[in-house]
Amino acid sequence: MGDVTREDDAERQVAVHALEQSFSELMTVFRRYVAEAAERVSPGMLPATFKTLSTVSRFGPMTLSALAERLAADKGFLSRSISELEGLGLVTRTPDPVDRRSRLIAVTEVGAARLGEARAPHQSRLHEAMADWSVTEIQHLSTMLHALAVGGVPDRG
């Protein structure tokens, strides 16, 4: 029985290594997508600035502190990114009604439209890549990735 455990451990190590390689490939593709999308929003935009815009769009108006926490990023860098986005008319900063010392960062209509246009090619590619996948397979992958992201055990039901 001890051999089975070692064999299972070895098999698990091989499987995890293969998963790491797949994630590496996926991250390379994702980085390329983010760089292309940033360029479509505004030529020369840094990918991190695009991520900032995307995060504010996804999670709604937020303070710089909340944004820094969500992205695990430096407030100084984020402040510069927000200033750039504001200069492009993609975000606004307004007083926070809860704490007047803070400002809420929100995506403008122009920002939302540019973000949608920038994401469109990637969304088409994802749909095309998964065209032969069943809805159940897509849902299962989503469940598995979520479990991995939060450190949980996937639902096996």
**37 in a domain, yes or no?**
yes
Mean pLDDT of 91-106: 92
Amino acid 150: pLDDT: 87
Which CATH number do you get for residue 124? 1.10.10.10
Mean pLDDT of 104-108: 97
**156 in a domain, yes or no?**
no
**82 in a domain, yes or no?**
yes
Q: What is the mean pLDDT of the chain?
A: 91
Q: Alpha-carbon distance 61 to 99, whole Å?
A: 14
Please, which pLDDT band fits residue 152 given cuts at 50, 70 and 90? confident
**71 in a domain, yes or no?**
yes
**81 in a domain, yes or no?**
yes
Give the residue numbers spanning the domain of 115: 2-150
Which residue has better confidence, 104 or 124? 104
E-assigned strands of 51-99?
Answer: 91-95
**48 in a domain, yes or no?**
yes
Residue 49, C-beta contacts closer than 8 angstroms, at least 6 positions apart? 38, 81, 84, 85
- Residue 143 phi, psi (nearest 5): -65, -45
Q: Alpha-carbon distance 113 to 107, whole Å?
A: 10
Amino acid 108: pLDDT: 98
Mean pLDDT of 113-127: 89
Mean pLDDT of 10-39: 93
Number of domains in the chain: 1
- Residue 130 phi, psi (nearest 5): -105, 15
Contact assessment for residue 65 and residue 76, using Cβ atoms and an 8 Å cutoff: no
**88 in a domain, yes or no?**
yes
**84 in a domain, yes or no?**
yes
